[in-house]
Amino acid sequence: MNNKAKKLFLTGSGLLILLGLIHLSVHFSIVPDASGLKLMATMENYKIYLFGEHSFLKFHNGFAVYMGICLTMFGLFNLFHYSVLIPKKSSHVFNLIFALIGVAIGIQYFHLVVVVFFTLSLLCFSLSLFYTNLN
């Protein structure tokens, strides 16, 4: 196994873990101001009727927490299984597609931090594939 490929793959995975943990910590640490409280009240009052009644705020919070957990778990999966994943081109392609989609969605909907983390992950996974193919 190429050492550069391994380090880059682990770095890309670590960036996903870090992004997920940052996402969760920011979600739980933001204290809303007056306009944020007004928005949260509006979201709480907007109801979604899908297999029961749920507020949009509840849906949003659940989705946000799950997103942070998914990013963290995906990175951890890569981290714990890198010895099996790195030699396989398909695992690199999967990670590249995942990071590329993250960049595209980030550019469209999120702030610069998300775009930077996904772009760095994309770069790490791309270079890891390159160095894996050298062997």
User: pTM of the predicted model, to two decimals?
Assistant: 0.88
Task: Determine contact, residues 58/98, Cβ cutoff 8 Å.
Answer: no
Give the pairing type, strands 47-49 and 53-55. antiparallel
87-124 per-residue burial string, b: 16 or more CB within 10 A, e: under 16: eeeebbeebbebbbebbeebeeeeeeebbebbbbbbeb
Per-residue pLDDT tens digits for 61-94: 999 999 999 999 999 999 888 888 777 888 889 9
What is the maximum span of the chain, computed from C-alpha positions, in angstroms?
A: 58
Phi-psi region of 88 (alpha: psi -120 to 50; beta: other; left: phi over 0): beta
Q: What are φ and ψ of residue 50, in 5° steps? A: -145, 105
pLDDT along the chain (135 residues), means of 10: 87 96 95 94 94 92 95 94 82 93 95 95 94 81
Which is it for the CA torsion 108, 110, 111, 113, positive or negative?
Answer: negative
pLDDT of residue 132: 87
